Structure formats: structure tokens, C-alpha cells
A and B are shown apart, each in its own frame.
Chain A
């Protein structure tokens, strides 16, 4: 359940590139972190989106994928993605939610911003892998 297959090797070998994970649920961040790290990926885990954003400002050069929850206190996932894209518009983004994603809300809040994938919680590690694999994370 927790193994990334060979298609992910490109990502694994992409020289210190890392994945920023932000979700206000500590357990979810930990599970994702463990699953990705077990496959040799570098993960920056956060439960506070404000802290995640501060980290991204400093480390955006080595981060090429953001996995973000949508309903988060303080800064929601849409705002987080918007701010992250202002810092680095090339960064890939996957949004996660345990709730139905409201299309109207999504289009209103992120009208011009490309989101590379969605994960509906609860998701399996295999589904996480599949979404990551679909993203061309080598392009900078």
C-alpha cells in the first residue's frame, strides 16, 4: 500500500526536490509524510498554513509540489495556493479535501490558477501515488 512504483523514480531522483504538505490534521500530515519518505522523497510537513507559507518563501526553489488541504483555519487551501503561486507560479499543486469540492467556490477563488490534481479524503497511498505520478514534477 505504501510503495511508490517505478514511475515515481523520476520524481525521487529529481535532486533534492521536495513536497510541501499542509493539513491542519496532524495525523494526516504524518501519514502522508511517512508514506512519501518511505519512498525516498523529501517532505516538508506543516499543520499551520501560515508557517508552511513562510517556509515556502525561503525554500520554494527546492519545492516543486504542494499538497494542501482546503478547509484550514487561518488561511484556507485556496488562499494558500494563491499566495504560493505568487511566490513561484511554476510550483505544482494538489488540493485535498474530505468535503465535496464546491465547483463554484473553486472557480471564484482560483479563477486563473492551475491546480494539478485533487485528492478526495479518505484516500489510499496508492491514490496519492497515482496523482503524484500524473504530475510532471521534473519541469521547472
Chain B
């Protein structure tokens, strides 16, 4: 009945986290009565459970998540959208336009293969394929900007506590940034320089996501770059 690490220690798959009975949180599993980590991450012991905050990870979709995806295929009455999940997501016509499906309807007028969409996950079908919707404010086809990818497990860090990190970046760079929970970030700025600044900052956050006091350091980093430029 004891903890084998201290909170915020780095653990790797197979590390014994706790001997004895305790509830298992994220990224842990039980084997022969003990709790082990199954990912690289920072261990977190709370009163009644042990969990691991993953440092690397694939995106597992949840209902309500905002994602940035790319249309990869057109099917009868639906689009197939790659949102970097283990299985591709599906966007039906009903969730894309306020019309019912008719055979005469040309789907490519709404979305075509290669188009990028900002969408929301609204449901899962019986095979746990994510169902998307682009009906709503700030959702739909993307016309300008560019996409960068980071590890999905670091998205919460990029947003920060109640959006503190991303709001600070938005204020400082004046770019439009849409963060998909699947690790794809849509950036659209007034000029190239601002956009490059955002890319630099996001790379820094991704690299140092596991350290504390990051928001202040990023603010400092932004200021020094801006001063260099002027």
C-alpha cells in the first residue's frame, strides 16, 4: 500500500506506480493488484486515485471537441474527414447544410476532397466512428491561414488555465488562432512575421510543456523577440 514515485515525477510505460488498492486514473492500468503507467508522462497522486498526465499521445475523440480536419473522401451523402484519430470521422450532409439529401445535390459545392474544415464532434456511431458537424458559429470550411501540428496531449497546456496562455498569445501577436483538440492549430495573421512568431511560441510551449511557470516564460520570450524585431 504505497506510492512508488512522487507527484510530477516522469514515468514510462511499465513503471510500478502504486502497490495495493487505489482507483486508477488516466493512462494507468491494473495488473496483479498493482497500478502501472502505460504512457510516458508525469505521475499524479491524489487522495483516492493515481493518474498519469501524458506527455505524448494520440488524440482520442470526445463529444463536444473542436477539431481541425481535412476532407479525404466523398461518399453517398457524407464526407470522410481525417482528424488524426485511429478511425476517420464522418460528416453527413445534414450536419453540413440545412438541406436534406437529394441525388441531384452536388456535394462538391459545399466541400471537396482536400478542403480543410473546423468542425465539432457531435456524436459517435455504433462503431465509435466520430460524427462531425459544421453547423454553428466559427465552424465550417477554412479559406485562409495555415495549419501546424503539435502533440494532442499538449493542447491543454497551450490553452492554459482558463485560457490564460492562448489569450496572452492572441493579445501579443494579434493573429487568429483556432486550436483543434486533435493537435492541429489553424493560424491566420495579418502578416507573415506575426504568424511565424506564433509558430515559434507554440514550438516552445510544446517543447517545455512539462515544466512549470511556463506562461510567464513565454511572455518573456515573446517580448524579447518583439524587441529584437524593432
Query: Are A and B genuine complex partners?
Result: no
Give chain A's interface residues, CB within 8 Å of chain B: none
